Structure 1
Amino acid sequence: MSEKGSGMQSAILTESGTNELEIIEFHLHKQMPDGSSKTAYYGINVAKVREVIRVPETTDYPNAQPHMVGVFSLRDRLIPMVDLAGWLRVKTRPDQAGKVVIVTDFNNMANGFLVDSVSRIHRVSWEDVESPSQFLEAGENDCVVAVVRRDGNIIMILDFEKIVATINPELSMEKYDVTQDRRVAFNDRIVAQRESRTILVVDDSAFIRKLIENTLSTAGYHVITAKDGGDALEMLTDIEEHSRAENQPVNTFLNALVSDVEMPRMDGMHLLKRLRDNPLFTALPIVMFSSLMSDDNRAKALQLGANDTITKPELGRMVGMIDRMVGIAE
């Protein structure tokens, strides 16, 4: 796969009416104690992949994070290469012969992930992308955001944002502290206004969801969360029922929504379209917050009725943007 496919990938991602995505299936060959190997199946959204290449020559990087093999040059960019099996604690054969590197590009960062093989591309409906079960989901430390069943195999969709954050902690959104942001007011009157507003945060990554929740709640907002688009729609349906039963406007119960784009069961673009088609939610402030917020995706989100968009590294824009949308006055 090469960069020339990026336009097609972007178009696929933003087909809001289809609620579909494409994933690349890749493998790690786990070495078993008896000397045999067992194939572990993983997946990544095509829209996050720049290309798949043979294993390049790498240069050691001083004081690198664990599982960072080194850095390599690709089209005049220096890109870190991560031993994905090592990060996942999957024991694979140590030699790199026959292996490949998946080069990703999201959150305005490029990274290379060393894997044993890449299999094929699957086009699936988000409705067929399952959230991890409670047994699999380990809260904010989990690295699996979704599961896809194909050809009798279970394909784990990994939380690459979380993986990148551990490899490049200096670039992680975890570094952002809203209390140290001089752009954000924290006087008693402003905080009291925020405390009267409720924000729904929707993201399939428990890691990202917690970061957003902590930022908004530290600023004073009351925050509720949903783990995917389907979960969010169920919560919003309950809010709609309360609104109608009590003859109260929606903003009595909810003041704004922050949603990821790629999520199991229902993606953020489809959720956005469903809400804007509902008269009760036409005025609800909605922010799309995604690692895949290209110019095309931003245009599509705005066309569908989003009030604004944020690319995930720009967490520092969140509170100020929400303040303006929900009428927080200085």
Structure 2
Amino acid sequence: MSTSSSTILTESGTNELEIIEFHLEKQMPDGSKKTCYYGINVAKVREVIQVPETSDYPNAQPHMIGVFSSRDILTPLVDLAGWLGVPTSKEIDKKFVIVTDFNRMTNGFLIDSISRIHRISWNDVESPSQFLEAGEQDCVVAVVRKDQNLIMILDFEKIIADINPELSMEKYDVTADKSVDLNQKMITKRNAKTIMVVDDSAFIRNLILETLSSAGYNTIACKDGGEAHDKLTELAEIAKKEDVPVSELVDAVVSDVEMPRMDGMHLVKRLRDSDVYKEMPIVMFSSLMSDDNREKALALGANDTLTKPEIGRMVALMDQFILK
């Protein structure tokens, strides 16, 4: 099974996505098995293959089985069940590997079986409950109900950051970045501005919030496009009631693309269709920001785009749009 993001990606702004459903077979204490249902956005998947021959890698991170060559790219193979704490069979000859390609990285994830592709509306993708969304350590960003099963959409950025900490955005510290102007005059200017940050991953959302606030910006956090749209509608009503421009309450939006309830592309479309938010700076920050997706985001009205490893460009870009 192989995929092509250029042909499978749904039309921008339609608030739809396609997910690949896959399974892990949990071994229960009584010897029985329980199927665990998971999902990943098709746009993140390069291909699904049988388990390849791997080579051991010295001092590998926990749950890294080894490395293999995927289209001439050295690719780590991750024991997904091991990372999730799901006990499964150790026999891997009948298992499969999902090869992902996002955040400018290629990774392989060991799974027990592949099911099928579902085309769904983001309206049907639910945010985890408050109990499940435990914070930065949570690895489930959304839930889809299909055929009386709950399909857990995993936070693969969080998993990769945990396994490859050297590649994680957590290592970025804006206060140590000499390319960012942190003199008191500039910090005071940023203190007068507010940026809304929209991302369904608590892990990523908190990294963005910390980066912007450390540079002096005020922030508003939203966990999905639906919450962001509701909050922006509320702010527009407050601005109208108080007879002030909405920029007195919020100056810009930084948004992920794939999110429950309403995706980032559809959020941009809705905001640009409104009189209040036609001109507000919007930057898309996503692991799926291919050249094609960048063109789609800009066509819908985004001012610019960033790929998720590029958090180091965030403050300078917001300065450019907000502090002209």
Q: TM-score range by the shorter chain?
A: over 0.9
Q: Distance in 2 between matches of 1:112 and 1:97?
A: 15
1:221-236 alignment, distance < 5 Å: 221-236=217-232
Aligned to 1:313, the other structure's residue is in SS state: helix
Aligned to 1:278, the other structure's residue is in SS state: coil
Which residue identity is paired with 1:182? K
Q: Distance in 1 between matches of 2:162 and 2:269?
A: 34
Compute the TM-score of the two structures, normalised by the length of structure 1: 0.97
Q: Distance in 2 between matches of 1:32 and 1:25?
A: 22
Residue aligning to 1:54: 50
Q: C-alpha offsets along residues 66-105 of structure 1, whole Å, 9 cap, x if unaligned?
A: 0000000121111000000000000001110210000000
2:15 equivalent to 1:19: yes
Residue aligning to 1:327: 323
Gap runs ≥5 in structure 2: none
Q: Distance in 1 between matches of 2:306 and 2:70?
A: 27
Identity %: 69
Q: Distance in 1 between matches of 2:122 and 2:187?
A: 38
Q: Distance in 1 between matches of 2:8 and 2:179?
A: 36
Q: C-alpha offsets along residues 291-314 of structure 1, whole Å, 9 cap, x if unaligned?
A: 000111100111111010000000
Residue aligning to 1:213: 209
Q: Distance in 2 between matches of 1:280 and 1:119?
A: 44
Q: Distance in 1 between matches of 2:88 and 2:219?
A: 42
Q: Distance in 2 between matches of 1:72 and 1:271?
A: 39
Q: Distance in 2 between matches of 1:247 and 1:16?
A: 34
Residue aligning to 2:98: 102
Q: Distance in 2 between matches of 1:320 and 1:188?
A: 16
Partner residue of 1:153 out of 149, 154, 166 = 149
Gap runs ≥5 in structure 1: none
Residue aligning to 1:173: 169
Tell whether the 8 Å contact from 2:13 to 2:300 is kept in structure 1 after alignment: no
Q: Distance in 2 between matches of 1:39 and 1:262?
A: 26
Q: Distance in 2 between matches of 1:166 and 1:269?
A: 28
Partner residue of 1:75 out of 71, 74, 93 = 71
Residue aligning to 1:239: 235
The runs of 4+ residues in structure 1 deviating greater than 2 Å are none
Which residue identity is paired with 1:245? K
Aligned to 1:91, the other structure's residue is in SS state: coil
Aligned to 1:104, the other structure's residue is in SS state: strand
Residue aligning to 1:7: 6
Which residue identity is paired with 1:6? S
Partner residue of 1:41 out of 25, 37, 40 = 37
Instruction: Give RMSD over aligned pairs.
Output: 0.8
Partner residue of 2:182 out of 170, 183, 186 = 186
Compute the TM-score of the two structures, normalised by the length of structure 2: 0.99
